[in-house]
């Protein structure tokens, strides 16, 4: 690792709320190197050559097709791009793996078997497997010889995963465990060779196992008739007196929650990135149709109502993409430092994902909700054709809905990111109390009359003020809890408000860092287009900050205290008015001219 990286100060997870970042701290897609460009092209070629011609067959789950496509990815090395070289992986850096996930957002239903296999199917073994387990399973998973599935959810335990009823009992001779239970919504179940299974030993010790999918006593339910992602295999898995060798226990007995949660961190991150990649395809679909469809003597893309939709699709996805690649760089830096300290590739990868669990949850929620906006407006732009199953707009619309549910529902992820923030503060990992107290003291002083100067001065000040809004709101709620006047566990609406403010802050700041960096680079579009996207996004974030903070504060404060908070809020949400109509049109014209995603 270079001396530059060794001396670089890296923000810990959640620290973006109280610290200032610089453009050089982030990675943006426009600065990919030659090797990354080659990997991106390889991924694009796979989509164009192997996936596009057989999309209909994938949707119909033609027998053997999905496993064969996974094997082709194995031959290209793309199943092991994130795996150590000692097991046959490519051991690529985090940013390059993010690029692969970005491109593979265009895989449609095939996203699911790919992501389930390479993520929650492989990572538990990399993170927690014994050396023997890693040596046996990982090379075969990387090559595609074995396909993996992840068995966590049960009929009575979804978001509450630790309420599982599947049981494992050690045999009298200690050679194996006998597993009984039922799992549901298991992706890849129809063709998987191994299952990562979670069961409670003796009914109380939540533990992970690697289970041969062909073991006696395992049966599968029928394929689920799903709303979307119809090309993915989803079945129930039943375990009846299934004998699992004792050596197949994964990690420590009773510590299965560590496996489940650590695998989900990176899964949430990659889901967010894949959503962003898929959004680019949806935007292209929408802009192609807007350029082709003629009404009232001209292309519908000429109309302001359509320009608004295209611009919003581009702006929201650009913001999400900026946040994703910023997090990618954070994880890459963290992993590099951990390896320099002597940790293995697997340990360092796990620690980096765990460190940025808050950011991973942000990206999962942000990416999936931007996707929902994009696919909905894509159908609207297509009109009646968009409602027909003969055209791809309908399929994209159906496929998108699951993204807000799996890898932890968006509601759970919102609660988690705020909970993680408070836990990190209580453990002393980040200092929120000091900055929150500084905001309270600022509210008691006269507002500064200092004039803003320099490029992006308004946006830089807005970010600092947005942070104060969150610290003021969260600090006020925390104070009420300490005084015994509030129990935050019972205030989910308030926590959701705080989570939405965190999402807006992180995405807006990430976008600002990217646009600042672009100002000194060659880029696909004139700087005026990027500045327009930035200003529209900040204009809208400013309004959402005000709304979310007001809703949150009014839920725990009243009388003079409420007035004090609201006066402070007015001080901190003062991003200047923007002619968003003209700026959105500028962005829409750029994508209409390119007839594609062009950033």
Q: Which residue is listed with tokens 């690792």?
A: 1
Active-site annotation holder among 154, 377, 407, 509? 407
Closest CA to 275 of 112, 514, 420: 112
Could you give the CA distance from residue 199 to residue 3 in angstroms, rounded to a whole number?
45
Q: Is-catalytic flag, 582?
A: no
Beta bridge pairs of residue 299: 294
DSSP one-letter code for 18:
T
- The single-letter DSSP state of residue 157 is B
Q: Please state, in angstroms and as integers, the Cα–Cα distance from residue 261 to each residue in 81, 99, 155, 162, 338, following that order.
A: 22, 24, 19, 11, 20
Helix H or strand E segment including 210: strand 205-212
What is the C-alpha separation between 433 and 471, in angstroms, rounded?
Answer: 9
Strand partners, 335: none
Output DSSP code: residue 13.
Answer: T
Q: From the centroid of its chain, how far is CA 475? A: 27
| Helical H segments across 483-558, by residue range | 492-518, 527-554
Q: What angle do CA 225, 394, 236 make, to 5 degrees?
A: 20
The closest alpha carbon to 179, from 189, 167, 171, belongs to 167
Query: For residue 192, which of 240, 227, 144 has the smallest C-alpha distance?
Result: 144
Tokens at 483, concatenated: 């005084």
Cα dihedral 159/163/164/170 (nearest 10) = 150
For 459, the 3-state DSSP assignment is: helix
Q: Are 40 and 32 in contact (CB under 8 A)?
A: yes
Contacts 24+ apart (CB under 8 A), 23-26: 23/513, 23/514, 23/516, 23/517, 24/517, 25/326, 25/329, 25/513, 26/322, 26/325, 26/326, 26/329, 26/510, 26/513, 26/514, 26/517
Helix ranges (DSSP H) in 224-344: 256-292, 304-340
Q: Are 200 and 168 in contact (CB under 8 A)?
A: yes
In sequence order, the β-bridge partners of residue 245 are 176
Measured CA to CA in angstroms, residue 424 lies from 138, 254, 421, 483 at distances of 33, 24, 5, 21
Provide the annotated active-site residues: 407
């Amino acid at each position: 690792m270079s001396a530059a990286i060794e001396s670089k100060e890296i923000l810990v997870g959640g620290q973006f709320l109280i610290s200032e970042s610089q453009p050089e701290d982030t990675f943006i897609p426009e600065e990919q190197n030659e090797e990354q460009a080659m990997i991106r092209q390889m991924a694009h070629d796979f989509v164009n050559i192997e996936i596009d011609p057989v999309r209909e067959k994938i949707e119909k789950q033609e027998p053997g097709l999905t496993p064969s496509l996974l094997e082709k990815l194995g031959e290209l090395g793309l199943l092991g791009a994130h795996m150590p070289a000692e097991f046959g992986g490519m051991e690529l850096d985090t940013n390059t793996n993010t690029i692969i996930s970005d491109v593979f957002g265009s895989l449609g239903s095939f996203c699911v078997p790919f992501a389930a296999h390479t993520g929650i199917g492989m990572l538990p073994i990399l993170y927690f497997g014994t050396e023997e387990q890693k040596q046996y399973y990982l090379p075969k998973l990387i090559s595609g010889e074995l396909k993996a599935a992840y068995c966590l959810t049960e009929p009575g335990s979804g978001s509450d995963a630790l309420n599982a009823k599947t049981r494992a009992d050690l045999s009298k001779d200690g050679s194996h465990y006998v597993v009984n239970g039922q799992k549901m919504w298991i992706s890849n179940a129809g063709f998987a060779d191994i299952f990562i299974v979670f069961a409670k030993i003796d009914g109380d010790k939540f533990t992970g196992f690697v289970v041969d999918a062909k073991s006696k006593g395992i049966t599968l339910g029928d394929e689920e008739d799903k709303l979307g992602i119809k090309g993915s295999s989803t079945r129930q898995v039943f375990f009846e007196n299934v004998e699992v060798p004792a050596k197949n226990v994964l990690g420590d007995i009773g510590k299965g929650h560590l496996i489940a949660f650590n695998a989900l961190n990176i899964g949430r991150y990659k889901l967010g990135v894949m959503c962003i990649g898929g959004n680019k395809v949806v935007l292209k679909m929408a802009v192609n149709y807007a350029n082709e469809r003629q009404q009232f003597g001209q292309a519908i893309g000429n109309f302001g109502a359509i320009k608004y939709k295209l611009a919003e699709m581009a702006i929201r996805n650009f913001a999400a993409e900026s946040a994703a690649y910023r997090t990618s760089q954070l994880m890459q830096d963290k992993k590099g430092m951990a390896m320099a300290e002597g940790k293995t590739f697997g340990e360092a990868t796990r620690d980096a994902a765990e460190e940025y669990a808050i950011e991973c949850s942000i990206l999962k929620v942000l990416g999936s909700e931007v996707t929902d906006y994009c696919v909905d407006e894509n159908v609207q732009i297509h009109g009646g054709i968009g409602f027909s199953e003969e055209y791809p707009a309908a399929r994209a619309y159906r496929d998108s809905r699951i993204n807000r549910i799996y890898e932890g529902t968006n509601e759970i992820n919102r609660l988690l990111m705020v909970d993680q923030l408070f836990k990190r503060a209580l453990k002393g990992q980040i200092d929120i109390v000091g900055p929150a107290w500084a905001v309270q003291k600022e509210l008691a002083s006269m507002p500064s009359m200092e004039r803003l100067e320099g490029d992006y001065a308004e946006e830089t000040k807005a970010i600092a003020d947005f942070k104060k809004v969150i610290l003021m709101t969260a600090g006020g709620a925390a104070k009420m809890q300490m005084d015994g006047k509030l129990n935050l566990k019972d205030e989910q609406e308030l926590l959701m408000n705080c989570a939405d403010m965190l999402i807006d802050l992180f995405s807006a700041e990430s976008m600002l860092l990217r646009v600042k960096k672009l100002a000194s680079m060659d880029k696909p579009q004139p700087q005026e287009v990027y500045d327009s996207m930035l200003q529209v996004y900040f204009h809208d974030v400013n309004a959402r900050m005000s709304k979310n903070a007001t809703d949150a504060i009014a839920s725990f404060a009243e009388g003079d205290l409420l007035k004090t908070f609201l006066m402070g809020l007015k001080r901190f949400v003062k991003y200047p008015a923007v002619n968003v109509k003209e700026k959105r049109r500028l962005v829409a014209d750029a994508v209409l001219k390119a007839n594609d995603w062009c950033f």
